[in-house]
């Protein structure tokens, strides 16, 4: 009996612009996504006996398990990789639970309602605008207490204006542009490609909005060199992934006529001294400052999988900012360091004839920002042949989590 971990079902709630989800709570959205994923897999929800999440998800597994009527709860886990860096690590933890017999059916979930809770940078915006005499309403809900160590680490940069994710991640990419001649047009081509994919995706928040290079170049600057369309959206919603054993996956595959999707390998971590990476802008070695900080992890992943970048048929690369996509393409070996711009110019990322179809649902830039877990849903759909932008005969998919922070990645394979 093989316990090798496989993805057998995925599900999501509706994705909306932040604050537009209506009266439904973030907690209810988490339940909705899990129920949808169980139905998609063809299992009864009370068969789930494990749960894993990340990014300080506010929806505690023990309460979800009770509300879902799970017969017996065996496993609960939360990833330490921060923010969007933990999505693939949560899948890895689910796979470890399944393969070691801690649980038989584990759901990985992420619920994120930025319209119901304070967003990073909003408190700083309140302080700046109030100091300038502008009246601003505070957010409706403030959750928890901020990580004091993180705030202390950021203390030397926040007074100089580094109060948002865009500012933090703009600095390494500006260095990349200086070193290699990468341009804003390269970033624009990434955003446009993913928007075209989203235009074919009925789940995408940006499904009805096209994007041209001219619109990208004329959009307002957020944090040089990132313009508006270089930045991920802010959304409300939830999604979930069901992980189980190979034996169970075989039974489900015969029933739903889908290929089996194996979690071939996973990796997580950070370089020496990296701490929170670009968010703290400290302790990053100079030779990797203009990278996504994921090259070492990528090398471990390929070794574990016994595969190379040339084996990948489709990729779902975390796109909180366009620049992070380009740097991860280099980190994961799809092109050499400094050659990401040329790789983008080749049209490689298009699902319609590109050599590396990427973010075929639209990603965080154009489908929804769910801290990257929706990338894993799309990875499975790509290998099942169910993507809205199908890649013919796709067998191997790379999924990455956030660059510029301690991160994670997985390789999926259809068989």
Taking a C-beta distance cutoff of 8 angstroms, is the pair 11, 39 a contact? Answer: yes
Active site residue 75: no
Candidates 109, 117, 274, 369; catalytic one: 369
Handedness of CA 21, 27, 31, 33 (dihedral sign): positive
Q: Give the active site residue among 15, 75, 274, 318.
A: 318
**Each residue of 191-205: b (16+ CB within 10 Å) or e?**
bbbbbbbbbbbebbb
174: which residues sit within 8 A by CB, 6+ positions away? 224, 225
CA atoms of 207 and 201, how far apart (whole Å): 6
- Rounded to whole angstroms, the Cα distance separating 382 from 393 reads 9
Q: Are 395 and 412 in contact (CB under 8 A)?
A: no
- Residue 318 falls in the annotated catalytic set: yes
Cα(49)–Cα(77) distance, rounded to whole angstroms? 12
Residue 69, number of CB atoms within 10 A of its CB:
10
User: 236 with 18: CB under 8 angstroms?
Assistant: yes
Distance from C-alpha of 237 to C-alpha of 15, rounded to nearest angstrom: 5
Active site residues per annotation: 318, 369
């Amino acid at each position: 009996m093989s316990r090798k971990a496989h993805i057998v079902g995925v599900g999501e709630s509706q994705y909306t612009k932040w604050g537009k989800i209506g009266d439904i709570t973030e907690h209810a959205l988490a339940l909705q996504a899990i129920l949808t994923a169980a139905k998609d897999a063809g299992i009864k929800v009370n068969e789930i006996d494990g749960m894993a999440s990340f990014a300080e998800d506010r929806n505690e597994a023990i309460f979800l398990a009770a509300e879902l009527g799970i017969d017996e709860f065996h496993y609960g886990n939360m990833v330490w990789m921060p923010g969007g860096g933990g999505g693939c690590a949560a899948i890895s933890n689910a796979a470890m639970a399944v393969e070691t017999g801690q649980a038989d059916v584990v759901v990985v979930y992420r619920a994120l309602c930025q319209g119901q809770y304070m967003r990073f940078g909003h408190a700083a915006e309140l302080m700046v605008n109030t100091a300038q005499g502008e009246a601003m309403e505070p957010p409706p809900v403030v959750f928890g207490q901020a990580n004091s160590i993180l705030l202390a680490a950021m203390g030397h940069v926040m007074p100089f204006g580094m109060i948002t994710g865009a500012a933090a991640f703009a600095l390494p990419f500006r260095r990349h542009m200086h070193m290699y001649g990468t341009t804003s047009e390269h970033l624009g081509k990434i955003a446009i490609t993913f928007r075209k994919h989203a235009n074919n995706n009925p789940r995408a928040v940006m499904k009805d909005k096209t994007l041209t290079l001219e619109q990208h170049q004329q959009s307002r600057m957020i944090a040089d060199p990132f313009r508006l369309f270089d930045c991920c959206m802010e959304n409300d919603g939830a999604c979930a992934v069901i992980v189980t054993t190979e034996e169970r996956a075989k039974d489900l595959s015969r029933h739903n006529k889908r290929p089996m999707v194996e979690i071939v390998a996973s990796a997580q971590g950070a370089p020496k001294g990296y701490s929170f990476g670009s968010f703290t802008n400290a302790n990053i070695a100079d030779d990797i400052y203009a990278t996504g900080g994921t090259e070492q992890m990528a090398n471990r992943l390929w070794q574990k999988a016994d595969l190379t970048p040339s084996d990948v048929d489709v990729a779902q690369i975390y796109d909180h900012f366009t620049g992070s996509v380009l740097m991860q393409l280099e980190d994961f070996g799809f092109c050499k360091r400094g050659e990401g711009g040329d790789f983008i110019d080749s049209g490689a990322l298009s699902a319609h004839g590109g050599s590396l179809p990427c973010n075929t649902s639209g990603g965080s830039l154009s489908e929804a920002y769910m801290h990257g877990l929706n990338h894993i849903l799309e990875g499975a759909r790509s290998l099942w042949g169910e993507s809205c932008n199908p890649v013919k005969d796709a067998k191997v998919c790379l999924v990455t989590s956030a660059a510029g922070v301690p991160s994670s990645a997985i390789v999926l394979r259809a068989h």
